[in-house]
């Protein structure tokens, strides 16, 4: 049975407010990296993240690069980060000559395991990166304690976790510096874009300088170091400001979608697990992820192909970074066996604000049908 319509894994939620702000920015002729919307978006996003400063930039990878630069990371510095994350978290360290060190993930939350982080600490460690996988906060209290005990910086890669909280504090406010992405599939989007957040004025000033080619304010076209052209446009920030102003609406819709999935999956008794959240976490889900059990009759990749044949788009979890060619010699916590398991069995289900409860039921019913069909086929072949 074919799906009535294609169900995309993600769709942006844009309204008349975004349209009106973009047209206003267009009509103002301030369409590059200077304008009121840049200022207002940065101010309002700082409030959302619970930090003093927010510096916009062209994408989430640029935000990571700037954050690492702002902390002064460089050649030989070791930085511990989760093995199960998007490649940009590690790549931006290589830009500086720093050394990524991979910690294993927790079996339930799929976030970095604090015990694994502590095991990987060395005298060369300069920072820990907490990545909030799929929008679920890490155990920030534990990671903050490790960072403080060892005298290193805590960095939050909150690319997927806009507005999530831990122990009543927004993600982004726990680290010395934090980063966000506004790619088209994110909870808050500007199409492409990123943000560096911090409450440290020296880091904020450093990031702001490097973002704009390290230009000196009081000496036009004079540069005394290498900077980067990482600025975000006023047009993009117009979209971003509208998204921030609509955040409570976007948050409520995503939480509702996750609730539909939780009920449908529980009722269907499928061989898969949903993501756990640490005690004290308030999750704004970016994507609803599931991990197939080891004894599932259908494998992850086969299930994705079968879902696609019925018009349901999904995404696999990220490959563990230690498996990628450029990171095979990096230090890991015993090969990070849990991240290898989760990465091989995990997939992201369609998650966006335009889904209906019937869409979610259709997706879960389709998963159940594929599991049963594969189980039946296996039994027939074995019989």
What would the mean pLDDT of 187-212 be, rounded to a whole number? 98
What would the mean pLDDT of 41-60 be, rounded to a whole number? 98
Which of the four CATH numbers 3.30.1300.10, 3.40.630.30, 3.30.70.270, 3.90.1150.10 does domain 248-382 have?
3.90.1150.10
Total-model pTM: 0.96
Q: Where are the domains of the chain?
A: 16-246, 248-382
The tens digit of pLDDT for each residue in 206-230 reads 999 999 999 998 899 999 999 999 9
CA 225, chain centre distance (Å): 31
What would the mean pLDDT of 92-115 be, rounded to a whole number? 98
The tens digit of pLDDT for each residue in 124-162 reads 999 999 999 999 999 999 999 999 999 999 999 999 999
Check for a shared fold between 16-246 and 248-382. no
Is it true that domain 16-246 has CATH number 3.90.1720.10? no
Cα–Cα distance, 107 to 295 (Å, whole number) = 16
The tens digit of pLDDT for each residue in 169-181 reads 999 999 999 999 9
pLDDT of 4 > 70? The answer is no
What separation in angstroms does the CA of 224 have from each of 206, 216, 217, 227, 296?
13, 8, 12, 9, 59
pLDDT of 1 > 50? The answer is no
pLDDT, position 3? 42
Q: Give the neighbor-by-neighbor strand order of the sheet with 125-131.
A: 53-57, 194-198, 177-181, 153-157, 125-131, 78-82, 99-103
Cα–Cα distance, 152 to 142 (Å, whole number) = 14
pLDDT of 311 > 80? The answer is yes
What would the mean pLDDT of 58-64 be, rounded to a whole number? 98
User: Contact 277/283 with Cβ under 8 angstroms?
Assistant: yes
């Amino acid at each position: 049975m074919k799906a009535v319509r294609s169900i995309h894994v993600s769709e942006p939620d844009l309204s008349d407010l975004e349209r009106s702000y973009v047209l206003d920015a267009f009509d103002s002729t301030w369409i590059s990296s200077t304008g009121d919307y840049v200022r207002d978006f940065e101010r309002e996003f700082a409030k959302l993240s619970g930090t003093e400063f927010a510096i916009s930039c062209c994408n989430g990878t640029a935000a990571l690069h700037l954050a690492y630069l702002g902390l002064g990371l460089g050649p030989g510095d070791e930085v511990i980060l989760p093995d199960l994350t998007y490649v940009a978290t590690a790549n931006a360290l290589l830009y500086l000559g720093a050394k990524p060190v991979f910690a294993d993930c927790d079996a339930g939350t799929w976030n970095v395991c604090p015990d694994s982080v502590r095991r990987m600490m060395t005298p060369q460690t300069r920072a820990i990166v907490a990545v909030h996988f799929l929008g679920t906060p890490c155990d920030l209290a534990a990671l903050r304690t490790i960072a403080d005990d060892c005298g290193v910086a805590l960095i939050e890669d909150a690319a997927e976790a806009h507005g999530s909280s831990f122990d009543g504090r927004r993600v982004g406010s726990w680290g010395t510096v934090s980063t966000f992405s506004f790619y088209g599939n994110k909870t808050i989007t500007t199409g492409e874009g990123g943000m560096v957040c911090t409450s440290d004025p020296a880091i904020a000033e450093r990031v702001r300088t490097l973002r704009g080619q390290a230009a000196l304010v009081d000496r036009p076209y004079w540069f005394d170091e290498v900077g980067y052209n990482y600025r975000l446009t006023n047009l993009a920030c117009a979209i971003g400001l509208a998204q921030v102003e609509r955040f409570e609406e976007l948050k409520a819709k995503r939480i509702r979608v996750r609730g539909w999935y939780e009920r449908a999956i529980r009722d269907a008794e499928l061989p898969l697990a949903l993501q756990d959240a640490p005690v004290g976490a308030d999750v704004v889900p970016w994507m609803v992820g599931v991990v197939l059990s080891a004894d599932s009759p259908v494998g992850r990749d086969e299930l994705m192909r079968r879902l696609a044949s019925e018009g349901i788009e999904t995404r696999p979890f990220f490959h563990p970074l230690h498996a990628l060619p450029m990171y095979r010699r990096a230090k890991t916590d015993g090969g990070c066996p849990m991240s290898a398991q989760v990465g091989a069995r995990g997939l992201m289900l369609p998650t966006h604000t335009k889904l209906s409860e019937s869409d979610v039921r259709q997706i879960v019913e389709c998963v159940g049908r594929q599991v049963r069909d594969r189980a039946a086929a296996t039994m027939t072949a074995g019989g």
